[in-house]
Amino acid sequence: MSSMEGSHQEHQLPSYLTETLIKRSLEHDLQRPVTVDRFTAGPATAAGDNYLSDVFWIRVEYDGGASEKRLIAKCMPDVGDRGATLDTLDAFRKESETFQQLLPTFSQLVSIDGWEQFGAKCYYATTEPVRTIVFEDLKVLGFRMYERTQGGLDFDHMALVMRKIAKFHAASMLYANQCPENARHLAERYAYGFHNPSEDPDESRVLHAFQKGLEKFLSVASGWPELEPAVLRQLKLLQPTFTRRIADSVRGRQAGARYEVLNHGDLWSNNMMFRYENGTTVREIMFVDYQLSVYGSPGLDLVYTLYNCPQKDVRQNRIEELLQVYHRTLRDTLKHGHYESLPTFDDVKEEFSRNEFFGLICSIVLLPIMLMERTPNLDLSFDAFFQEEHGDRVRDIQYNGATYRAAVVPILHNLLARGYIQ
């Protein structure tokens, strides 16, 4: 990660990351004129940690050196397949609206003993010259990402994740319960996440990539002696309808749902930041990246998180315990907000079970991405991934990873035994 001086090395920055953008961000937040003295900036994430956005850290001195801030700029340039995908998923509009409007309101609804914050403070959002959202830098506040290549989150991290999801879900329920307009707002403005239902599943670049993932898994896993042959047989039977099954599985609003919430939609470990006490004891969590939020069954967030994030032993042995952690926090938060008809633990388990085919999808096409070993000099950009030869090379690395193989086999055996691979 190299820093770039705004005064001497600005040509190394993308053309859209300018002093004007930084000045507008500060002025929008402070509601007064600002003079930028100097700034430094550089890439804020490593290769493979972000796909739809370019993320930069910024350190800016302003007002004659009297003040300094650390910012994060999340930029979504309209280029190649990435730009078209951002448009189809309405990602920028959704995320900017979430950070600027919903999250502050949600915080007010559920803050009990202090301020409950669901994301970084948003300073500014603009579409000119490219779609950009500017945030406070959570690293300055002591938050950091968990290393995604370490095999997953331990129980203490996962319990913290589940409590935060529960508070976020509860906040959305309280918000929707305030008035019909709020409920309609969530249903209409957050109608889809991974897949826009107006797009033919067979034409979706994202779902096409998922289909390629299934094909690569079948190719690689056919040589795994520890994997039951019945798993491969059933997965092969799914191939002709896989993209349409995915489209059905990621639909937010589901007939018979016990309760509905705003789902974060993309809760894997790189979209979480943690703060620690004494360097090791995890104390706080903050969510990032609300591009795929969707209103509907809470099972979407629960399945996505519990299939993709935990360490192998936690996933195999403590899922129900984590669902209990989630339910207790959901219930207590809703009680404090005087919400009637509190969801029961059976309701939570029903929504989780209803969505476990989505867990199969996560295991086959998302978990290998999340557990991918870091590979120097490998282009992991969104557009490069969709280049046939390069994308296949990346998948080879992902699906042949030892950590992924150890994690996915017991997941698939469990899903097969319970009738979810069909």
For 277-314, write each residue's pLDDT tens digit.
Answer: 988 899 999 999 999 999 999 999 999 999 999 999 99
pLDDT in the model for residue 384: 61
pLDDT in the model for residue 115: 82
Give the CA distances from residue 320 to residues 2, 356, 421, in Å, rounded to whole numbers and listed in that order. Answer: 44, 14, 21
For 247-280, write each residue's pLDDT tens digit.
Answer: 999 999 999 999 999 999 999 999 999 999 988 8
What interhelical angle do 319-336 and 155-178 show, nearest 10? 40
15 or 366, greater pLDDT: 366
Per-residue pLDDT averaged across 149-176, rounded?
96
The H or E element that residue 123 is part of is strand 122-126
Give backbone dihedrals phi and psi of 41, rounded to 5 degrees, phi first.
-155, 160
Cβ atoms of residues 131 and 254 within 8 Å: no
Per-residue pLDDT averaged across 326-353, rounded?
97
Closest of 394, 372, 302, 405 to residue 147, by C-alpha: 372
Helix (H, G, I), strand (E, B) or coil at 261: strand
User: Is residue 198 pLDDT above 60, yes or no?
Assistant: yes
Cβ atoms of residues 169 and 157 within 8 Å: no
Q: How confident is the model at residue 50 (pLDDT cuts 50, 70, 90)?
A: low
CA-CA distance, 126 to 313, in Å (whole number)? Answer: 43
Full set of structural domains in the chain with CATH: 89-121+152-418 (3.90.1200)
220 or 385, greater pLDDT: 220
Angle at 92 between CA 297 and CA 130, to 5 degrees: 170
pLDDT in the model for residue 387: 65
| Alpha helices for 250-387 (secondary structure H) | 299-308, 312-317, 319-336, 345-354, 356-361, 367-370, 382-385
Could you tell me what percent of the chain has a pLDDT over 70?
A: 93
User: Any residues with CB less than 8 A from the CB of 11 and at least 6 apart, and which?
Assistant: none
Strand bridging mode 4-5 / 36-43: antiparallel
pTM: 0.93
DSSP-derived secondary structure for 278-312: TTTEEEEEEE---TT-EEE-THHHHHHHHHHSB-H
pLDDT in the model for residue 78: 81
Q: How confident is the model at residue 412 (pLDDT cuts 50, 70, 90)?
A: very high
Give backbone dihedrals phi and psi of 296, rounded to 5 degrees, phi first.
160, -145
CA-CA distance, 186 to 342, in Å (whole number)? Answer: 20
pLDDT in the model for residue 1: 26
Token pair in block for residue 314:
């936690």
